Amino acid sequence: MSMLGFMPALMPTLRAYSGFAPRPPETDTYTLGRIGSLEVRLASTPNDIRRAQRLRFQVFYGEMSARPDAATRLARRDVDAFDWVCDHLLVLDHAVLRGPTRKPTVVGTYRLLRQDIAEKNSGFYSAGEFDIGALLSRHNGNRFVELGRSCVLAPYRNKRTVELLWHGIWTYVLHHKLDAMVGCASLEGTDPNKLALQLSFLHHHARAPEAWRVRALPERYVEMDRMQKSAIDPKAALHALPPLIKGYLRIGATFGDGAVIDRQFGTTDVFVVLPVSTISARYVAHFGATADRHAA
C-alpha cells in the first residue's frame, strides 16, 4: 500500500472511562480512503463504535452461530471490554442513508489495538487463546497491532470492500510506524474434524517460521495437523477457507501452532501473524493505489 501523499491525522484511541467523548473531526481528516460511494474511516465518536457493534451483532449473531447472552440480546450489539481501548475502522456506504439523521450505513468494520495501548490496559484480546508473550519478547522493540472483530455486511462481501478495509489498515500501520500485524482469524464451526482439510492446509502450507510462531494456550490447544500433507488437495482447501483467511494468505501472512475452539461464537480460531517487512511490494503499491481512486 501506497505512497499516499497525504497522511490523515488519526484519532486518538478511545479511553475506557465513563463519559469520554473524542473531539469530532473539524474536516474530513478521519477519512482514510474512498471508492465510489464507499468510504473507509476511523470511528470518531462513541456512537460510531455503537454502530460498528450493531453490525457485528447482525453478522456474528444473526448470520453466524454466535450465542448471545441476555445483555447482548437486549442491546443487539456485540460488545466487549476491549472496544473502548481500540480504534475502529468503518466502511460506510454514502449511497444508503439511514436513521433520522440520514447517516451513511456502516457496512464493514475492523478493530485495531496497538501494543502500546494494550500494555496500558488489559493486554491483547488474542492472549486469551494464544501464548503471545514469547512472540513479543522475541521481537522486543517491534511495534505490534492486533486486528480483530472484522465483519462485512453480506451484500458488500466483495473485493472492493475488502481492499478498502486493507487500505485503511495500511494507512493506520504507516501512520503509527507499526512493524507487525497479529490476531485471531476464524473458521466457522466447532468440530475440528470437519475442518481437518482447512486446518491441515494451514499447518503444512502456511505455518509461521519459528521466530514468528505462536502456540495456542495448553488448556485450549487443538491439533491442526489432522491430515498428512500428501493427502491435502490445496485447491480444495483454499476454496473451503473463508475469504478473510484467503486474503491474509495472499499478502503473505502465516499461522500459528494449534487452533482454539470458541464456543460462544461457534468458531475455530487460528493465530495470524504478518510482519510488515514480508508484505510484497506488489501489494504495498496495490492497496494504496486502489483506495486512492475516487469514482465520479
- Set out the domains of the chain in order of their start, with CATH numbers: 31-292 (3.40.630.30)
All 3 cell numbers of residue 92?
460506510
| Residue pointed to by grid coordinates 454502530 | 51
Predicted confidence (pLDDT) at residue 200 exceeds the cutoff of 50: yes
Q: Is 171 left (phi over 0), alpha (psi -120 to 50) or beta?
A: alpha
CA-nearest of 206, 201, 183, 150 to 269 is 183
- φ, ψ for residue 5, nearest 5 deg: 75, -85
In one letter, which amino acid is 283? Y
| Residue pointed to by grid coordinates 503509527 | 176
Whole-number pLDDT of residue 247? 87
Whole-number pLDDT of residue 254? 98
Mean pLDDT of 147-166: 91
Mean pLDDT of 251-277: 96
Rounded to 5°, the CA angle 123-183-181 comes to 95
Query: Bigger pLDDT: 100 or 278?
Result: 278
What burial letters (b/e) apply to 239-269, b meaning 16+ CB within 10 Å?
Answer: eebeebbebbbebebbbbbbbbbbeebbbbb
Whole-number pLDDT of residue 6? 24
Whole-number pLDDT of residue 196? 98
Distance, in Å, from the CA atom of 115 to the CA atom of 144, rounded to the nearest integer, reads 5
Strand partners, 229: none
Q: What is the pLDDT of residues 175-188, one digit of tens each?
A: 999 999 999 999 99
Whole-number pLDDT of residue 287? 67
Q: What is the pTM of this model?
A: 0.85
Mean pLDDT of 117-124: 96
Distance, in Å, from the CA atom of 19 to the CA atom of 35, rounded to the nearest integer, reads 34
Percent of the chain at pLDDT > 90 equals 75
**Residue 192: burial class (beta carbons within 10 Å; 0-12, 13-18, 19+):** middle
Whole-number pLDDT of residue 296? 30
Mean pLDDT of 93-107: 89
Mean pLDDT of 40-51: 95
